[in-house]
Chains A and B, each alone.
Chain A
Amino acid sequence: MAVDEQTVAQIAQLARIRLEPEQKRALAEEMGNIIHWVEQLNELDTEGVEPMTSVAEMALKMRDDVVADGDRQADILKNAPETRHGYFVVPKVVD
Chain B
Amino acid sequence: MAELTDLTLADARDLLNQGEVSARELTDAHVAAVESARELNAFITETPDLAREMATASDERRAKGGARPLDGLPIAIKDLFSTREVLTTAASHILDGFTPPYESTVTRNLWDAGAVLLGKTNMDEFAMGSSNENTYYGSAKNPWAREGDNRPLVPGGSSGGSASAVAARAALAATGTDTGGSIRQPASFTGTVGMKPTYGRCSRLGIVAFASSLDQAGPMTRSVRDAALMLGAMAGHDPYDSTSVDAPVPDFEAALTGDIRGLKVGIPREYRVDGMPGEIERLWQQGMDWLRQAGAEPVEISLPRTRYALPAYYIIAPAEASANLARYDGVRYGHRAEDAKSLTEMYERTRAEGFGEEVKRRILIGTYVLSAGYYDAYYNKARKVRSLIAQDFREAYREVDVILAPTAPSPAFPVGDLVDDPIAMYLNDVFTVPASLAGLPGLNVPAGLSDDGLPLGLQLIGRAFDEETVLKAGQVLETAADFRHAPSFVAGS
Contacts and interface: CB of A to CB of B under 8 A. Distances in A.
A80 B314 CA distance: 33
Given A11-B367, A56-B200, A56-B439, A82 B384 contact: no
Interface string A49-87: 111111111101101000000001001101111100000
Nearest to A55: B439
B340 A91 contact: yes
A33 B382 CA distance: 17
B464 A56 contact: yes
Interface in B240-284: 242-243, 245-246
A91 B329 CA distance: 12
A51 B423 contact: no
B243 A34 contact: no
Contacts of B19: none
B213 interface: yes
B242 A41 contact: no
A15 B331 contact: no
A91 B343 contact: yes
B334 interface: yes
Contacts of B349: 18
A42 B381 CA distance: 8
Contacts of B30: none
Contacts of A39: 311
Interface residues of A, number: 53
Contact of A90 (B198, B343, B348, B423): B343
Contacts of A88: 331-332
B368 A41 contact: no
A82 B334 CA distance: 10
Contacts of B199: 55-56
A14 B314 CA distance: 20
B332 to A, nearest CB: 6
A18 B365 contact: no
B383 A51 contact: yes
Contacts of B246: 58, 61
A38 B314 contact: yes
Contact of A40 (B102, B311, B332): B311
Interface in A1-35: 3, 7-8, 11-19, 27, 30-31, 33-35
A88 B361 CA distance: 29
Interface stretch (B48-56, B161-169, B386-394, B466-474): B386-394
A90 B331 CA distance: 7
Nearest to B345: A91
A56 B243 CA distance: 8
Given A18-B349, A56-B199, A11 B387 contact: no
Given A12-B364, A91-B340, A93-B342, A49 B387 contact: yes
B351 interface: yes
Interface string B363-407: 111011001000000101111111110100000000000000000
Contacts of A52: 383-384, 386-387, 390
Contacts of A35: 365, 368, 378
Interface string B439-463: 1000000000000000000000000
Contacts of B335: 81
Nearest to B240: A68
A76 B100 CA distance: 10
Nearest to A15: B367
Contacts of A18: 345, 348-349, 351-352
B385 A16 contact: no
Contacts of A34: 314, 361, 365, 422-423
A63 B367 contact: no
Contact of A38 (B311, B326, B364): B311
Given A38-B315, A56-B439, A60-B242, A17 B348 contact: yes
8 contacts: A16-B326, A30-B361, A35-B368, A55-B214, A56-B243, A90-B346, A91-B342, A92-B343
10 shortest interchain CB distances as A-B pairs: A51-B383, A79-B333, A55-B439, A75-B101, A46-B384, A56-B200, A18-B348, A81-B336, A18-B352, A38-B311
Interface of B: 97-99, 101-102, 198-200, 213-214, 239, 242-243, 245-246, 305, 307-308, 311-312, 314-315, 322, 326, 329-336, 340-349, 351-352, 355, 360-361, 363-365, 367-368, 371, 378, 380-388, 390, 422-423, 438-439, 464-465
Given A7-B368, A34-B423, A91-B343, 15 more contacts: A11-B364, A17-B360, A18-B349, A27-B361, A30-B422, A31-B361, A33-B422, A41-B315, A42-B381, A53-B383, A55-B243, A56-B198, A81-B335, A81-B336, A91-B340
